[in-house]
Amino acid sequence: MTKDTQKERFTRWGMVKYFMHGCTRFFIFSIVASFLVTILEMLIPQIIRSTVDSVIGDKPFAFPAVVNGWISDIGGAPYLRTHLWVISITIIVMALFVALFRYATNQLNSIAAERLQQNMRDKLFSHIQKLPFTWHMQNKTGDIIQRCTSDVERVRIFIAEQLVSVVRIVIMMILSLFFMFSMDLRLGAVAAATVPVIIAYSGFFFSRIGRHFKECDDNEGILSTIAQENLTGVRVVRAFGREDYERKRFEKQNTYYTGLWVHLMKLMSYFWGAGDLITGIQVVLVLSLGSAFCVHGTLTTGEFIAFLTYNGMLIWPVRQLGRVISEMSKAGVSIDRIRYIMNTPEEKDRPDATEPDMHQDITFDHVTFSYEENVPVVKDVSFTVKAGTTFGILGSTGSGKSTLMHLLDRLYDLPEGSGSIRIGDTDIRDIKAQYLRRNIGMVLQEPYLFSRTIGENISITDRSMPMSDIRTAARLASVDDAITGFKNGYDTMVGERGVTLSGGQKQRTAIARMLTQKAPIMVFDDSLSAVDAETDAKIRSALNRHLKDSTVILIAHRVTTLMNADKIMVMDKGKIVEMGTPDELMAKGGVYKRIYDMQLTMSEDDVFTGNPFEEVEAENAAKAAGRDAAAETDDKPGKNASGNSAAVKEV
């Protein structure tokens, strides 16, 4: 996918806040519940410490004055020595509250994370629908899908499993260190020494490893694109026997992708191994020094047991912090990949965009357009399509015919200074894009049918369309008989890209779909190329009757398809080479007549063996060369008025 160079609409945190709209309160409640879990867990080692030192031993209780007062009211340490069940019940009750609050934390966090994921998917999909057509052409479908699925899921996992944990980890580290230092400053300093070391080590490691996560994600997108293209074009793969090539291509990319992850996991193993070594040294030091302090009487047995418990509580969040940073690095890469989409500007209408009457003349005025810089595919083209007429366009492959229609539909916008396209007196760039497209019906040579029923495909512009209207459109497109011939008729499911229909049936179904749109401008971009001549004539006859109030633009490779057009334009290499009525073009004897003559003698299964555009161009060049030669001969001395040389005359 192209580089993230456009002006940023969202920062990382800004985009997370945007997606979290509507679920923030669940995160807050989850954090509060997690805080209560941590507090209760931190109190349990203090109860164990007091049980060992004050109930079994004879040390005074180290609780706050209020708690000491309660213990005194029930009989103090002597009572507890004979009623140890009271301490057991207290710990069990606290454990029950821990379980309750942890359940609340998980539930609230799950709800928040799922709603966040729903928001991300909805807003991503909505934003993609508003992006310019050029953006879709520049980016691979597989990679876009990857960003909308795997990357969204990775962000959800981080939010659900790690984000709230950060708060708990920080609280647990602070409280653990507080209790440890309150029991023994020296042992607390030893235990705390590993915290900044692991944090610094984790931060340094994952600041360097982020690019590896991005490389893995990017290559997963490439792998998805290869699979998606292969599955979509499975008929072409099978038709040309490309199965082995495609398999090897996929395996090559998959091997490279696997290698990236193996290398990344090797680096992660180094990280976790080094972290285990550091924490292992810390545990040995705490255990050795703590035992020595107990032997020398500077640390009680209860304090040592509590200290070891708190040390375990400290080591867990410190080690977990490394995992959080790891997941944060992965999530950061995914957020950046999602930001690439969200930061792409949406297609927007001009502030003063209008909705003019579309039953007006269409004017192309000195239009020049390039897909790539300095490589124009349309060169200074000017013509007018009168409202309510049928206008035909004939041309070789790559002559710019379809590009003109893409410009008319504003799939591509004309750059400033490259001419203009007007409907009436209104530049199409001053017309609301959706209004313009709703009023231009277009059928492409390779129509796309959705994985829905045939009826739903035809009525896609109006879900409430009655079946009578659907069938009327299908009859006009000469596809009703074929559809009713299926077992389920109009309820027949169409596979991906309409694989259950023939090429001609798909084209005719797409024509029926466009006819239900009832647009004032209709464009047929070689949309009858897959039907036979008889069906072609039948459809054209029906369309001429039905579309008499619409402006019709026909792009075709068959001259017969254009014979009923009011005017025909012939294009070659991005330029207009001929224009006129069918009779005018026949009388002119140029490219149009040459193609007509060629097709008249061909059967439907024949193909062109030459290029009529090049042939006419060569003939014109030969004629021009002959005229130049004749003019050169006229200029030579000794030539008489009749054009014969004096020497010849003498002979």
The pair of structure tokens assigned to 163 is 């984000």
Q: Which of 60-69, 180-189, 205-214, 450-459 has the lowest mean pLDDT?
A: 60-69
**Closest Cα to residue 48, out of 286, 289, 320, 313?**
313
pTM recorded for the entire structure: 0.70
Tens-digit pLDDT profile for residues 494-531:
865 555 788 788 888 888 998 888 889 999 888 877 67
Helix runs in 354-492, H state only = 401-408, 433-438, 454-458, 467-476, 480-484
CA distance 149 to 120: 10
Q: What is the pLDDT of residues 32-46, one digit of tens each?
A: 998 899 888 888 887
Task: Report the range out of 209-223, 302-316, 562-576 with the highest average pLDDT.
Answer: 562-576
Lowest-pLDDT range, 295-304, 340-349, 473-482?
A: 295-304
- pLDDT, position 611: 60
Q: Are 385 and 522 in contact (CB under 8 A)?
A: no
CATH 3.40.50.300 fits 352-439+550-602, yes or no: yes
| Lowest-confidence pick of 47-61, 96-110, 120-134, 185-199 | 47-61
Res. 536: pLDDT tops 80 = no
Residue 165 CA to residue 178 CA, distance in Å, equals 20
3-state class (DSSP) for residue 521: strand
Tell me what the mean pLDDT of segment 302-323 comes to: 81
Beta-ladder partners of 552: 390, 522
Q: Answer whether 16's CB lies under 8 Å from 10's CB.
A: no
Q: Quick one: pLDDT at residue 417?
A: 87
Given a cut of 70, is residue 623 above it in pLDDT?
no
Instruction: Say if residues 171 and 165 touch (Cβ distance below 8 Å).
Output: no
What is the structure's pLDDT at 639?
46
pLDDT at 261: 86
- Amino acid 444: pLDDT: 81
Angle, helices 503-517 vs 467-476, to 10°: value is 120
What kind and span of H or E run contains 160?
none
DSSP string, 25-72: HHHHHHHHHHHHHHHHHHHHHHHHHHIIIIIIS-PPP-S-HHHHHHHH
Beta strands in 30-101 (DSSP E): none
**pLDDT value at 1 more than 50:** no
The angle at the Cα of 10, spanning 7 to 15, to the nearest 5 degrees, equals 160
Residues paired with residue 212 on neighbouring β-strands, in sequence order = none
Would you tell me how many other CB atoms lie within 10 Å of the CB of residue 577?
A: 18
The CA-based diameter of the chain, rounded to the nearest angstrom, is 154
Measured between alpha carbons, how far is 33 from 98 in angstroms, rounded to an integer?
Answer: 9
Conformational region of residue 632, where left means phi above 0, alpha means psi within -120 to 50, and beta covers everything else: alpha
User: What's the pLDDT score for residue 83?
Assistant: 64
Q: Which residue has the tokens 């004939």?
A: 394
How does pLDDT run across 245-290, given as a tens digit for each residue?
Answer: 888 888 888 898 898 888 888 887 887 788 788 888 888 888 888 8
The candidate with the shortest Cα–Cα distance to 160, out of 10, 324, 37, is 324
Q: Binning pLDDT at 50, 70 and 90, where does residue 642 land?
A: very low
Q: Which of 62-66, 194-198, 226-230, 439-443 bottoms out in mean pLDDT, i.e. has the lowest?
A: 62-66
Contact 282, 315 (CB under 8 A): yes
CATH 1.20.1560.10 positions along the chain are: 12-342
Q: Say which residue, 404 or 56, is predicted with more confidence.
A: 404
Q: Of 117, 104, 127, which is closest to residue 158 (Cα–Cα)?
A: 117
Instruction: Look up the CATH superfamily of 12-342.
Output: ABC transporter type 1, transmembrane domain (1.20.1560.10)
Secondary structure of 561-578 in HEC code, one letter for each residue: HHCCCCEEEEEECCEEEE
Task: Write the pLDDT tens digit of every residue in 428-465.
Answer: 999 999 999 989 988 887 788 888 889 998 998 888 88
How many CB atoms within 10 Å of residue 395? 25
Residues of the chain with CATH 3.40.50.300: 352-439+550-602
Question: Do 391 and 113 meet the contact criterion of CB atoms below 8 Å apart?
Answer: no
Dist CA 105 CA 35 (whole Å)? 9
Counted residue by residue, the chain has a size of 651
Contacts from 165-169 at CB under 8 Å and sequence distance 24+?
A: 165/34, 165/320, 165/324, 166/324, 167/31, 167/34, 167/35, 168/34, 168/35, 168/37, 168/38, 168/317, 169/317, 169/320, 169/321, 169/324
pLDDT tens digits, 200-250: 877 777 767 767 877 887 888 788 888 877 877 776 777 667 788 888 888
- CA 40/CA 43 separation, integer angstroms: 5
Identify whether the C-beta of residue 572 lies closer than 8 Å to the C-beta of residue 394.
no
